[in-house]
Amino acid sequence: MYGVLAPFCNTEAGYRAFTNEKSRDVLVTTEGGWFSSEARGAQELRLKMTFEEAWVCEPDKPNMGFTSWDDFFVRRFREKVRPTINPDDPSSINAACEAITYRVCKNAQPTDQFWLKDMSYSLDHILNYDPLASQFTGASLLHVVPGTYYAARLDDNPDPDVVSRSQAFVTAISTRALIFIQSDNPAIGLMCFVGVGLGEISTTKLEVRQGDVLKKGDEIGSFHFGESTHCLIFRPETKLSLTEEPTPPGTARQVGSILFYVEKASIN
């Protein structure tokens, strides 16, 4: 589908295709629809609850109250379905998205060599040569890839496209939303959330502005149509302990769950 839609989606008409009312025609319960028994069954199998229990929607209205396919794509969990764990604990860092750990990189450099089978990360490129980038030389970088909760159909024989197979490389070349956050915890200090739209048809939307004061669980943005991935980048002074991966392998971490524990800053 990506190969077919990509040439058209970076146009005004492509944007309207997913945001106008007509796009709701696929949000139906008939065969092939996103609310068909097959599609709902695949999603409910993963979430262990019904669609109505999991997502903010209006079951009594046409198309469950969604105003467009894009509105459906960025649907929100109901309160308490994905609670923020330890919301007042400054020594833990929570998962920003529903996602699977792809790679943890230590000592990331401003620029690095790229090899076909062992791709590195180039901070200057990822951070678009931002003036703050120099503070992250030697950084710890966590790269995670999408969970499957936005996709309601199963594929018994997945065949990732070339973009999906080049996860590290696309963090330096694809559309990116950079959100630098200064933590009140000196052991964390400055960090950066990097939202990456994996392909030409992906969109990242920011919900925060410079100077905003955030707390755990606040929404900072969203990914729209297309695949997406993100990185969390921490200064080398920030000492982190990654929590155990969920089981079985390939299971996404739940948004709001504990991702890292932070060691206390040393006193010189």
Question: 42-78 b/e with 16+ CB inside 10 Å = b?
Answer: bbbebeeeebeebbebeeeeebbebebbbbbbebebe
- pLDDT greater than 90 at residue 136: yes
The mean pLDDT value of the chain amounts to: 85
Strand 258-262 relative to strand 240-242: parallel, antiparallel, unpaired? antiparallel
- pLDDT greater than 60 at residue 154: no
Q: Rounded to two decimals, what is the model's pTM? A: 0.85
- The rounded distance, in Å, linking the Cα atoms of 136 and 192 is 9
Closest-CA residue to 175 (of 137, 109, 224, 114): 224
Give the phi and the psi of residue 110 in degrees, each rounded to 5. -55, -45
pLDDT class for 111, splitting at 50, 70, 90? confident
Q: List 228's β-bridge partners, or say none.
A: 197
pLDDT score at 251: 86
The domain ranges of the chain are 2-73, 92-262
Q: Is 96 exposed, middle or buried (0-12, 13-18, 19+ CB in 10 A)?
A: buried
